Homo-oligomer: A and B are copies of this chain.
Amino acid sequence: MKRFSKRRQCILDNLESRKDHPTADMVYRSVRDQIPNISLGTVYRNLKDLADEGVIISFTQNGKEHFDGNNHPHMHLCCSVCGKIEDLPLNAEKYAPKSDPDFMIRNVIIQGVCSDCIARQTEDEVLEA
């Protein structure tokens, strides 16, 4: 049976209290304030368990796994240039796939380039010319 360990609780509290979308390493560094001898492996193990149980959300961006303690249905807008991750409200009906209407949606990720980075890229091209 799953236990209610101090570390697990601390990791979950940390994740739920922040509004960014940290990686395992970011959670590790933050949680050491409260539990200085916690190990990175433990952080990875607990985050993985919590994600498998559906308590938290996880998704990969730029080769790194990011975690989100907010498990209300919402979307993630991700800019592949600057790496910014932003929350968006989710209209679940809108996304319900016709091919599998019972598909249980856990997370929706919109990947692309944000308007700031589009502007920056256009500038760069002008400079090159």
Contact = CB atoms under 8 A, between A and B. Distances in A.
Number of copies: 2
B112 A103 contact: yes
Contacts of A113: 103-104, 106
A86 B103 CA distance: 12
Q: Size range of the interface on A?
A: 20 to 34
Nearest to A89: B98
Interface of A: 59-61, 63, 65, 77, 79-80, 86, 88, 94-95, 97-115, 118
Contact of A112 (B63, B65, B105): B105
A47 to B, nearest CB: 14
Nearest to A108: B110
